[in-house]
Amino acid sequence: MPEHLPGNSIPPLTSLSPHHHVQRSVRSSAEAKNTMPITKTPKTTHPLWVEWDQKAQKSGLRHEVYAVNGDCYVGEWKDNNKHGRGIQRWKKSGAIYHGEWKFGKRDGYGTLSLPDPVNKYKKVYSGWWANDKKAGYGIQYYGPKEYYEGGWKDGLQSGWGRMYYANGDIYEGQWSEGRRDGEGMLRLSNGNRYEGCWKYGMKNGTGRFFHLDHGQLFEGLWVDDVPKCGTMIDFGRDEAPEPTKYPIPKIELLDPDKVLEEAVAMFLQEED
């Protein structure tokens, strides 16, 4: 083995472990990884109106809540709808409804009132509602002496009902779509009355008209309030306040019923 010359000495090689360079490489990778920026997923954010809308959702009993047009409601809510009992005031008409609600519509029993110069408010309807319309039994007030009590459907008189008119007349019977329709009796203010069929709000079909003021009775067929054919007889003539001067003479026909039947049949044929 050659000797080391003086002045040309070479430092001895450092003994290295075979894994030395691998460990340094691993540390270098870890250090590089720790120094890299960390990317985080930002939290999902919603617009402010979503948060405000959630806070504005109304449920339960609330005090005055105003609409944009000035209408006001005080009462119970459910899922942001008027639901339960409450009072609604309409600014434009001044009307007030006090009663039950269901999903934002009048449904159940309630009362509707309008402004009145004398008593501040006057009741115009008291009864049942369905889907924001009068339905079931209720009373509608048209004036101090004129009102209707009976059945309703889709906001119109329907079924059985009684109407008191301002002139003193009274109708009691069946209604359909707001008009007298079916069997009914109209009692006039002077005591006379009609009992029979109605259609389109008028006397249509068979019926009897009692002229109690004159003591007579007409029975026959009517078309649009006009009696077309029938028979007139004395009825309570002795008790009538204004009886006719002469009684109706008896019919001298051998078969008056057949004559009337033929007349009615001929009239119906002309109508067809």
pLDDT, position 271: 66
**Position 8 pLDDT exceeds 50:** no
Q: What is the dihedral of CA 23, 25, 31, 33, to 10 degrees?
A: -120
- Tens of pLDDT, residue by residue over 166-196, are 999 999 999 999 999 999 999 999 999 999 9
Please list the residues that pair with 186 across neighbouring strands. 171, 194
**Position 96 pLDDT exceeds 90:** yes
**Position 52 pLDDT exceeds 50:** yes
- Tens of pLDDT, residue by residue over 195-238, are 999 999 999 999 999 999 999 999 999 999 999 999 999 888 88
At 48, the pLDDT band (50, 70, 90 cuts) reads low
Model confidence, pTM: 0.70
At 86, the pLDDT band (50, 70, 90 cuts) reads very high
pLDDT, position 50: 57
**Domain range 52-131, CATH class:** mainly beta
**Helix/strand/coil for 61:** strand
148 vs 163: CA distance, rounded Å: 4
- Greater pLDDT, 225 or 1: 225
At 136, the pLDDT band (50, 70, 90 cuts) reads very high
**Position 126 pLDDT exceeds 90:** yes
**Domain range 142-271, CATH class:** mainly beta
Domain parsing of the chain, residue ranges = 52-131, 142-271
52-131 and 142-271 agree in CATH topology? yes
List, as own/partner pairs, every contact residues 56-62 make where C-beta atoms lie below 8 angstroms and the sequence separation is at least 24, other chains included. 56/80
100 vs 122: CA distance, rounded Å: 19
Mean pLDDT of 107-136: 96
pLDDT, position 247: 81
Where are the alpha helices (H) located in the chain, listed in sequence order? Answer: 20-35, 48-56, 256-271
pLDDT, position 61: 74
Closest CA relative to residue 81, chosen from 57, 64, 97, 63: 57
